[in-house]
Homo-oligomer: A and B are copies of this chain.
Amino acid sequence: MTDEQFPRPIVTVDIVLLTLSDERLCVALLPRATEPFQTFAGLIGGYIHADEDQDAEDAVRRILKQKTGLDGIFFEQLRSFASAKRDPRGWSVSIAYFALVPKPVLEAAAHTLELRPVTEPGSLPFDHGEILAAAVNRLRGKGAYSTLPARLLPDIFTMSELQSIYETVIGERLDQSAFRRKISDLNLLEEVEGEKRQTERARRPTTLYRLKDPISVFNRRI
Contact = CB atoms under 8 A, between A and B. Distances in A.
Given A8-B9, A56-B80, A219-B221, A91 B50 contact: yes
Interface string A17-37: 000000000000000111000
Contacts of A33: 1-2
A85 B32 CA distance: 31
A85 to B, nearest CB: 7
B12 A9 contact: no
A111 interface: no
B55 A84 contact: yes
A2 B36 CA distance: 10
A200 interface: no
A110 interface: no
B55 A7 contact: no
- Count class of interface residues, chain A: 35 or more
Contacts of A47: 1, 3-4, 6
Count copies of this chain in the complex. Answer: 2
Contact of A79 (B7, B46, B80, B219): B80
A48 interface: yes
Given A54-B84, A56-B80, A91-B48, A11 B12 contact: no
Given A4-B47, A54-B85, 15 more contacts: A1-B12, A1-B46, A2-B33, A4-B10, A6-B51, A8-B8, A8-B9, A9-B50, A50-B84, A55-B82, A56-B82, A79-B79, A79-B80, A80-B95, A219-B221
16 contacts: A1-B12, A1-B34, A2-B34, A3-B49, A4-B47, A6-B48, A6-B49, A6-B51, A9-B50, A50-B91, A53-B84, A54-B84, A55-B84, A77-B80, A82-B95, A93-B93
